[in-house]
Amino acid sequence: MRYIKTSPNNIKLTPISGTVPSTGLLGINAGYFDDSSQTVQSICIQNSSTVQPGGANVFACGYYNNDDSGNHINAGTLVWDAGWRTYRTQVISGANQLTVGNPDNYWAQGGVSMYLQNDSAWSKMLSNNQELVNDHFPSDTMPRTALLYGNSLNIYLVITENKVSMSTFRTACKNLDATNGLEGIFLDGNTATQMNVPGTYSFNGGSIRKLPAMIQVVNNVQL
According to DSSP, residue 9 is labeled G
The residues that bridge with 27 in the sheet, in sequence order, are 196, 216
| pLDDT tens per residue, range 81-98 | 999 999 999 988 788 888
At 64 the pLDDT is 35
* Mean pLDDT computed over 197-220: 91
pLDDT digits (tens, 9 = 90+) for 8-40: 999 999 999 999 999 999 999 998 888 888 888
pLDDT of residue 72: 62
Reported as half-sphere exposure (CB side, CA atoms, 13 A), residue 220 has a value of: 0
Question: What confidence score (pLDDT) does residue 65 get?
Answer: 35
> For 173, phi and psi rounded to 5 degrees?
-65, -40
* Stated pTM of the model: 0.90
Residue pLDDT, tens place only, 112-148: 899 999 999 998 887 765 555 666 677 889 999 999 9
Choose between 151 and 42: higher pLDDT. Answer: 151
3-state secondary structure of 117: coil
pLDDT of residue 221: 63
Residue 4 has pLDDT above 70, yes or no: yes
Distances (CA, A) of 185 to 23, 128, 148, 158, 171: 24, 18, 7, 10, 13
Please report the pLDDT score of residue 208 as a whole number. Answer: 87
